[in-house]
């Protein structure tokens, strides 16, 4: 059985109302995870190595202050639309919408005050916790009152994240969790000794502002072919890559299937990602620059973590040939991602 505990983690700044932020601890025999009611943020995720020793494998902060200041979405649920929307603009039903630009010329992860920066209403459920919020019509420029539920449940070595949403006006939506992982333990210097594989025959090339060009390119014969496990450091060197920040195109079936795997041979820690989503953004922490002090005074430098963010394809709202990111009244957005931790 999974134990679920709740406690006060802190209070929001007075200028934001000073409300209580709670922390929920889910604990099984092999995994311990801590999640905040602020941004549904995973603050800690401890898993065992092959000797049975627990280490925390996600980047983050020891105190609430770290999360209320600017940070690169550590552990948070991002939305309404994860990833980038070109020029922060899209048209729907003949109407133009303009979003806040927070990533050069583009809108990223929901805008100035996305789902990562707001308090959610928590409810303890069997083996986990469900967070709810109503994103009001016009929030961050998006149309429609959007009801959103994010549920984390833990069973043995498997952490399940389910995302559900309903709207009263057509709106784009793409939700993901933005945890940064280092299977050697958070605060470790880099991820070069990790082995990564992604079950994708194609990926999305991007322009210099990280917006997909519209091409769906085959991975065959390129540095983006991760169908067989590669050792990350050697792979980046071999293909002269500065790192990854790209969407990999998954099978277009809304059923659970394994899509990615990360393994750290020195500790034996392995993480498998299963999802119902059409894409996965593989990001290697290219923008971490050592300026952030994390848990236990760890310094987070470039390539000291990776993200495997299951989601819809970036800028899909402006690319008709991408999987649709639109949710209509009467429909339900419902996607699940499973993270499986082991140390075989």
Catalytic residues: 178, 309
Length of the chain: 344
CB neighbours (10 Å) of residue 297? 8
203 annotated ligand-binding residue: no
Max alpha carbon distance in the chain (Å)?
59
Residues 6+ apart with CB under 8 A from 6: 22, 23, 24, 25, 122, 124, 129
245 annotated ligand-binding residue: yes
180 annotated ligand-binding residue: yes
67 annotated ligand-binding residue: no
CA-wise closest residue to 79 among 120, 22, 45, 44: 120
Residues 6+ apart with CB under 8 A from 41: 35, 60, 67, 74, 75, 76, 77, 116
152 annotated ligand-binding residue: no
Residue 61 CA: distances (Å) to CA of 43, 219, 221, 339, 341:
7, 36, 40, 22, 22
179 annotated ligand-binding residue: yes
Residue ranges for the binding site for beta-D-galactose? Answer: 83-84, 178-180, 245
Residue ranges for the binding site? Answer: 83-84, 178-180, 245
């Amino acid at each position: 059985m999974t134990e679920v505990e709740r406690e006060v983690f802190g209070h929001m700044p007075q200028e934001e109302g000073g409300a209580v932020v709670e922390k929920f601890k889910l604990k099984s025999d092999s995994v311990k995870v801590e999640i905040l009611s602020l941004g549904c943020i995973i603050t800690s995720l401890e898993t065992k190595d092959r000797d049975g020793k627990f280490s925390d494998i996600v980047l983050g902060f020891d105190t609430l202050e770290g999360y209320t200041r600017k940070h690169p979405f550590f552990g948070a649920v991002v939305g309404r639309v994860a990833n980038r929307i070109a020029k922060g603009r899209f048209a729907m039903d003949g109407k133009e919408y303009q979003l806040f630009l927070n990533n050069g010329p583009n809108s990223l992860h929901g805008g100035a005050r996305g789902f990562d920066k707001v308090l959610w209403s928590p409810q303890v459920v069997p083996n986990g916790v469900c967070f709810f919020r109503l994103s009001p019509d016009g929030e961050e420029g998006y149309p429609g009152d959007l009801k959103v539920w994010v549920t984390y449940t833990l069973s043995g070595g498997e952490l399940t994240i389910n995302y559900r949403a309903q709207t009263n006006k057509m709106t784009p939506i793409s939700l993901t969790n933005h945890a940064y992982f280092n299977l050697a333990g958070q605060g470790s210097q880099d991820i070069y000794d990790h082995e990564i594989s992604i079950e994708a025959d194609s990926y999305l090339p991007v322009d210099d502002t990280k917006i997909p060009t519209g091409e769906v390119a085959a991975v065959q014969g390129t540095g983006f072919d991760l169908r067989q496990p590669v050792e990350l450091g050697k792979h980046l060197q071999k293909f002269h890559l500065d790192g990854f920040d790209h969407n990999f195109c998954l099978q277009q079936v809304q059923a659970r299937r394994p899509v990615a795997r990360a393994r750290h041979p020195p500790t034996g820690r392995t993480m498998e990602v299963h999802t119902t989503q059409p894409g996965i953004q593989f990001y290697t922490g290219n923008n971490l620059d050592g300026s952030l002090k994390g848990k236990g005074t760890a310094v987070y430098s470039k390539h000291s973590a990776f993200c495997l963010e299951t989601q819809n394809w970036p800028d899909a709202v402006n690319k008709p040939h991408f999987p649709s990111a639109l949710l209509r009244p009467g429909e339900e957005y419902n996607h699940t991602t499973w993270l499986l931790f082991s140390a075989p």
